[in-house]
Chains A and B, each alone.
Chain A
Amino acid sequence: MNVLPYGPRAWLVEVPDDRVAGYAGAVARHADVAEVVPAARTVLVRLRAGAATAEVGAWLANVEPDDVADRPAPAIDIVVTYDGVDLSDVAAACGLGIDEVVARHGAATYRCAFCGFAPGFAYLAGLDPALRLARRATPRTRVPAGSVAIADVYAAVYPSASPGGWHVIGRTDATMWDAERDPPALVVPGATVRFVAAR
Chain B
Amino acid sequence: MSDLKLRVKEMIIERLKLEGMTPDQIEDGAPLFGDGLGLDSIDALELVLGIEQVFGVKIEDEAAGLQAFKSVQALTEFIAEHAKA
Whether chains A and B associate is no
- B-binding residues in A (CB < 8 A): none
